[in-house]
Amino acid sequence: MQLGAAMSSLYDRYGGFKTVSKIVMVFYDMALDSDQIGDYFEDVDMARLIDHQTKFIASVMGGPASFSDDRLRKVHSHLGICHEDMDEMEQLLKQALVQFKVTEADIETIISGIESKRPLIVTEVTAS
């Protein structure tokens, strides 16, 4: 339970949904420009995706939103995401978190929460 308490304080400490939303916007600005993962976002309803990603990151930080493992698996199953793509996503998110002055320790906690969902998101072993 200690981890959950720490995560909850992260969501609150960094300004809740409003700040998480800004972090996700910065992340997607970088992701769209990424040679590694940018193609995933062609012909995607970005407003909807940003809303979902904001809720997901908020939940990882202990916020009120939650996502079931089944839902995460289902929405990513057809995308062919490989480990390299997931690594790139995590690196870009780290960069966005740094811009919002999230501490290194808190970044590692957030990335660890996302990393725990890797088996649900990655469906390919290597890039094609």
Q: Tell whether the model's pLDDT for residue 8 goes beyond 50.
A: no
Is 83 annotated in a binding site? The answer is: no
Q: Tell whether the model's pLDDT for residue 26 goes beyond 70.
A: yes
Is 52 annotated in a binding site? The answer is: yes
C-alpha triplet 64, 95, 59: angle, nearest 5°: 10
Core vs surface per residue 99-112: b (16+ CB within 10 A) or e: eeebeeebbebbbe
Q: Looking at residue 19, which CATH number applies to its domain? A: 1.10.490.10
pLDDT in tens, 79-99: 999 999 999 999 999 999 999
Q: How many domains does the chain have?
A: 1
Domain-embedded: residue 128: no
Q: What is the DSSP letter of 107?
A: H
